[in-house]
């Protein structure tokens, strides 16, 4: 670990020496004493410079804007205080979830570099995926980051902490003026706060408020209705990842989403967050509903990548045909579904929760239309056409 950090620091030092970008390029316009704050006196000096013809009207307006609105200090998801001294214009984003939220806030034009998985998801991210790659949090290309001369870098807040800590230490050591902001943008418990944080530091407060209103409008009625249910009124459910017999237990995100949607997770009381279970134990638990995920690993189909349900159908049939599983209640009733992780993980988790709630409590949520929520999200906040297949068999509205 120490060797890795040292190597990254050496790389950063070399980049600093060879970089053509001078320190003054990161100076705050209008700041004369180097404290990165435009004081009243410094604003008056800039106004005098404008009258004397030394600066343009556009630059004066920028200085006034900074004087009135900056600095801004936020606490990110790693509980670190980050101060933004001037408007962010060049941002590198490692995690695609944050890219997606930035697009919801109409701020994608500020992005100058993206991570590996945003690059690979060219169908959903479109033109954003064509931006320069800076690797992933597992294998970051820090030379590419520095070549882009960002004034901020966004990384995960509480995920892959060891790798992200190394990235942050290297970047901040090489360039103390570069803001490193840590946000997850995929966890329901912190999602609203992170959208507000992005709204604040991107000057997209009204867009963030609009998006949060939409998000809460989709999710809050589900949470309120589920909160009124007794344990006996919730169906038992088994969720299996794209890896056979791998499921989620208490403390895992998938477990939390099952609970939010109103189900009792049949393996919710086991230790660890994600665990491989024995096929016989699934038979013994006898779940009423089964969810099989696709869209990752060896089951990388469905979701935004295609509109053909044949592979999802084949996957469902294979699950139902497992030896001895014909005795499971979910199989006998046909309550076995294949769900794309595109809408259960990441920034779109609320859409997946809506689908699950509809599956678990069709009577309670008779007016709930997950597909309509999904379409509105895509067209209104992502600027993309409705596309793809996300659940099989298809649910009735």
Which residue shows structure tokens 């999802």? Answer: 312
Q: Residue 193 has which token pair? A: 């706060």
Length of the chain as a residue count? 397
Cα-flanking dihedrals φ and ψ of residue 250, to 5°? -55, 135
Q: Residue 285 has which token pair? A: 């638990």
CATH 3.40.50.1980 in the chain: give the residue spans.
2-27+73-203, 229-392
Q: Which numeric CATH code is attached to 229-392?
A: 3.40.50.1980
**C-beta atoms surrounding 307 within 10 Å:** 9
pLDDT tens for 7-34 read 454 444 444 444 433 334 558 999 999 9
pLDDT tens for 100-138 read 999 999 999 999 999 999 999 999 999 999 999 999 999
Q: 2-27+73-203 is classed in which CATH architecture?
A: 3-Layer(aba) Sandwich (3.40)
Per-residue pLDDT of the chain (397 residues; tens, 9 = 90+): 444 444 454 444 444 444 433 334 558 999 999 999 999 999 999 999 999 999 999 999 999 999 999 999 999 999 999 999 999 999 999 999 999 999 999 999 999 999 999 999 999 999 999 999 999 999 999 999 999 999 999 999 998 889 999 999 999 999 888 999 999 999 999 999 999 999 999 999 999 999 999 999 999 999 999 999 999 999 999 999 999 999 999 988 899 999 999 999 999 998 778 999 999 999 999 999 999 999 999 999 999 978 899 999 999 999 999 999 999 999 999 999 999 999 999 999 999 999 999 999 999 999 999 999 999 999 999 999 878 999 999 875 5
Alpha carbon distance 319, 287 (integer Å): 13
């Amino acid at each position: 670990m120490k060797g890795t950090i040292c190597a990254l620091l050496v790389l950063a030092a070399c980049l600093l020496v060879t970089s053509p970008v001078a320190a003054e390029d990161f100076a705050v316009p209008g700041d004369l004493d180097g404290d990165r704050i435009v004081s009243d006196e410094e604003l008056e000096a800039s106004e005098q410079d404008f009258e004397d013809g030394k600066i343009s009207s556009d630059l004066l307006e920028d200085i006034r804007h900074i004087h009135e609105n900056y600095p801004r200090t936020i606490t990110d998801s790693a509980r670190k205080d980050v101060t933004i001294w001037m408007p962010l214009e060049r941002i590198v984003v490692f995690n695609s979830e944050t890219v997606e939220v930035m697009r919801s806030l109409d701020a994608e034009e500020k992005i100058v570099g993206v991570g590996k998985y945003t690059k690979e998801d060219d169908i959903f991210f479109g033109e954003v995926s064509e931006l320069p790659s800076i690797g992933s949090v597992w294998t970051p290309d820090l030379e590419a980051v520095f070549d882009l001369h960002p004034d901020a870098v966004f990384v995960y807040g509480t995920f892959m902490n060891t790798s992200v800590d190394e990235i942050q230490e290297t970047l901040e050591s090489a360039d103390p003026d570069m803001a490193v902001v840590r946000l997850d943008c995929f966890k329901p418990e912190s999602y609203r706060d992170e959208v507000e944080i992005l709204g604040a530091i991107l000057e997209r407060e009204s867009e963030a408020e609009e998006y949060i209103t939409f998000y809460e409008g989709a999710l809050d009625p589900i949470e309120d209705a589920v909160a009124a249910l007794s344990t006996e009124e919730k169906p038992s459910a088994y969720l299996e990842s794209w890896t056979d017999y791998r499921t989620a237990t208490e403390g895992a995100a998938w477990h939390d989403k099952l609970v939010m949607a109103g189900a009792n997770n049949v393996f919710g009381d086991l230790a660890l967050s994600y665990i491989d279970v024995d096929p016989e134990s699934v038979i013994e638990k006898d779940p009423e509903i089964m969810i099989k995920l696709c869209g990752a690993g060896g089951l990388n189909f469905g979701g935004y990548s295609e509109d053909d349900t044949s592979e999802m159908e084949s996957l469902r049939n294979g699950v139902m045909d497992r030896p001895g599983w014909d005795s499971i209640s979910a199989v006998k009733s046909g309550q076995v579904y294949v769900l794309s992780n595109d809408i259960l993980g990441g920034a779109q988790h609320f859409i997946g929760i809506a689908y699950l709630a509809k599956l678990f409590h069709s009577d309670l949520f008779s007016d709930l239309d997950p597909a309509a929520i999904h379409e509105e999200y895509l067209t209104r906040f992502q600027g993309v056409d409705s596309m793809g297949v996300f659940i099989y068999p298809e649910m009735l509205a």
